Chain A
Amino acid sequence: MALLILENVSKRFGGLVAVDGVSFAVRPGEIVGLIGPNGAGKTTLFNLISGIYRPDAGRIIFKGQRIDGLPPHLVCRLGLGRTFQLVQPFSDLTTLQNVMVGAFNQVRSEAEAARVAWDILVRVGLAEKADRPAAWLTLADRKRLEVARALATGPELLLLDEVLAGLTPREVEEALGLLRRVRDAGVTLLVIEHVMRAVMTLCDRVVVLHHGQKIAEGSPAEVASSPRVIEAYLGEEGADVA
């Protein structure tokens, strides 16, 4: 059975339809890519799934339970974590403490939370910066911290919003390795990504959004060769050139 199901999900902001009747499903153990030009509605869709917005229409089902309309902290406690595109560490806390905030979902005491957080910092390669103020981290490390915090909540499904953006090619390689390890540890991933090469190598399946609508879904190769997708990215004249 699918882990996450979206059925005809729509969201309007005034006259703008940001997400327009989107349906797709994510199966356990998959890495699904969510791509589309700027303004396609990807982040809005993440906000709908994680409970920040309530959809105007449609249903969102996670582990067989409707989650549309649930507040974010309850969505999180069901096992659905997410990261933000604009990384914002809790600046007055250390790196370890940042991750502990998420870990308190799984354990009660500070000592246990520190242990959970430490194990995750080791996994994502941030352990040696554990006791530094999170405000001091580089962009690449902040992205890792963002993933680490979400992992600490113990998610079954993790929504990643552009965790590769702004990284150097070498950092992208490291991050891809980390995401595969996360998946191998049993966490299903739904990722928004602009780095196309990464999408092609990482994702099992790709969903393409354009103007709030789903215009394609399939394997990375299928999607990349779809005329509608090429048109969406390059414009109509671009389609002729391609």
Chain B
Amino acid sequence: MKVQVDPWRKPTLIGLIVFLGVFAAAGPLLTQNRYTLQVATLILLFAYLAASWNILSGYGGQFSFGHAAFFGLGAYTSTVLFVKFGISPWVGMVAAGALSALLGLFIGLACFRSGLRGAYFALATLAFAEILRVVFVNWDWVGRSQGLLIQLVGDQPLLFQFGTRLPYYYVALGLLALVSGVTVALERHRLGYELRAIRANELAAAVLGVNIFRAKMWAIGLSAFFTGIGGTFYAQYFYYIEPFQVFGVGMSVDILLPAIIGGAGTALGPIVGSAVLVLLGEVTRTFFRGFPGADLMVFGVILILVVLFMPSGMIGTLRQGHGPFRVVRKLVKPS
């Protein structure tokens, strides 16, 4: 027997290696200009966050509209540990992932036990993020709405602070490689099959022996874990966090949008989507300099067009072989 389990497996792997390879090689070139390095780092960070969201919401189909809860909790965890207790953010990063995963399991227990799905689950996740925002806005010990400033200690890699910006770029690239590897493994693991079955039809999955609750709990735990780690990276990169930013609805949207635009439930989608969105944001901002808000309107219109014409995202549309990608698909079409 010689049958391909998934015809898109090879193109996906090649795509991942090419993307990550290009980013790895491009690092030193980007340092010529602090602006381009910042843009590239943000592409990697939001690709990473979207890929984390993708585990629960893309593969598992449980649409979270409140991943800022995990992101913000992660950012605050490592920052509080560093600012208040002097614990290295590298350690804090692991704690951030663990605490966010715990929060994920708690939300999962609350929602999945009672069978909350679809729009109701999305609203519940949004509510959890908003609750955390309100808590942190009013919590004196963590600086209320002013948030927390991370004191600069100079070039101390062990304390997750670097003298130049390039190391941050490579940390972000490493994180993206890690979550991409997990995604690739998930696609080959029983859990990945269960999640995709649940996404398509929960009842049909259940009578085939899939433990729906267990699979969803794994998905939200993993997804929250990686998102929390992303929060730590964000805090270390900007040296400053405040609750409106890290727990805001805007952050939840920024986390999920690259996956939606690039293709939810695909390994390449978040990377492609993040590159497109971050670049598009920069281009419209530059182009409409002097017309505050115009860039956001154009950005919004382009987003609407993409979603209208490519409802399953760029990679999803490419796989289905219609729409604007017909020609490209011919080139990469698996036999």
Task: Enumerate chain A interface residues (CB-CB to B < 8 A).
Answer: 50-52, 71-73, 75-77, 81-82, 84, 88-94, 96-97, 100-102, 104-105, 108, 110, 113-115, 118, 127, 130-131, 149-150, 152-153
Bitwise, B4-20 to A at CB < 8 A (1) or not (0) is 11110000000000000
B196 contacts the other chain (CB 8 A): yes
Bitwise, B194-229 to A at CB < 8 A (1) or not (0) is 101101110111111111100000000000000000
Q: Nearest Cβ distance between residue A29 and chain B, in whole angstroms?
A: 22
Q: Nearest Cβ distance between residue A74 and chain B, in whole angstroms?
A: 8
Q: Nearest Cβ distance between residue B211 and chain A, in whole angstroms?
A: 5
Can you list the 3 inter-chain pairs with the closest CB atoms, starting with the nearest? A90-B200, A72-B206, A76-B209
| CA of A73 to CA of B4, assembled, Å | 28
Q: Nearest Cβ distance between residue B129 and chain A, in whole angstroms?
A: 28
| CA of A89 to CA of B197, assembled, Å | 9
Of the candidates B7, B208, B265, the one whose C-beta lies within 8 Å of that of A105 is: B208
Of the candidates B5, B201, B206, the one whose C-beta lies within 8 Å of that of A88 is: B201
Q: Nearest Cβ distance between residue A189 and chain B, in whole angstroms?
A: 16
| CA of A73 to CA of B201, assembled, Å | 14
Asked if A110 contacts B5 (CB within 8 A), the reply is yes
Asked if A50 contacts B5 (CB within 8 A), the reply is no
B3 contacts the other chain (CB 8 A): yes
Asked if B208 contacts A153 (CB within 8 A), the reply is yes
Asked if B190 contacts A108 (CB within 8 A), the reply is yes
Closest to A75 in B: B207
Asked if B200 contacts A88 (CB within 8 A), the reply is yes
Q: Nearest Cβ distance between residue A11 and chain B, in whole angstroms?
A: 17
Residues on B with beta carbons closer than 8 Å to the beta carbon of A91: 200
Closest to B203 in A: A52
Residues on B with beta carbons closer than 8 Å to the beta carbon of A82: 207
Which residue among B193, B207, B211 has the maximum number of chain A CB atoms within 10 Å of its CB? B207
B188 contacts the other chain (CB 8 A): yes
Closest to B193 in A: A101
Q: List 12 A-B contacts (CB under 8 A).
A: A52-B207, A73-B206, A84-B204, A90-B197, A92-B200, A101-B193, A101-B208, A104-B194, A131-B3, A131-B4, A149-B208, A152-B208
Q: Nearest Cβ distance between residue B330 and chain A, in whole angstroms?
A: 17
Residues on A with beta carbons closer than 8 Å to the beta carbon of B190: 104, 108, 110, 113
B189 contacts the other chain (CB 8 A): yes
Asked if B1 contacts A115 (CB within 8 A), the reply is yes
Of the candidates A76, A88, A94, A110, the one whose C-beta lies within 8 Å of that of B189 is: A110
Asked if B209 contacts A105 (CB within 8 A), the reply is yes
Asked if A92 contacts B199 (CB within 8 A), the reply is yes
Q: Nearest Cβ distance between residue B111 and chain A, in whole angstroms?
A: 17
Asked if B5 contacts A73 (CB within 8 A), the reply is no
| CA of A96 to CA of B7, assembled, Å | 11
Quick one: which of B107-124 are within 8 Å of A by CB? none
Residues on B with beta carbons closer than 8 Å to the beta carbon of A100: 5, 193
Closest to A72 in B: B206
Residues on A with beta carbons closer than 8 Å to the beta carbon of B212: 73
Asked if B5 contacts A97 (CB within 8 A), the reply is yes
Closest to B59 in A: A92
| CA of A56 to CA of B54, assembled, Å | 40
Of the candidates B7, B206, B209, B211, the one whose C-beta lies within 8 Å of that of A94 is: B7
Closest to A106 in B: B209
Asked if B205 contacts A94 (CB within 8 A), the reply is no
Q: Nearest Cβ distance between residue A197 and chain B, in whole angstroms?
A: 28
Residues on B with beta carbons closer than 8 Å to the beta carbon of A149: 204, 208
Asked if B201 contacts A92 (CB within 8 A), the reply is no
Known A-B contacts A90-B197, A92-B200, A115-B1; A102 and B6 likewise in contact (beta carbons under 8 Å): no
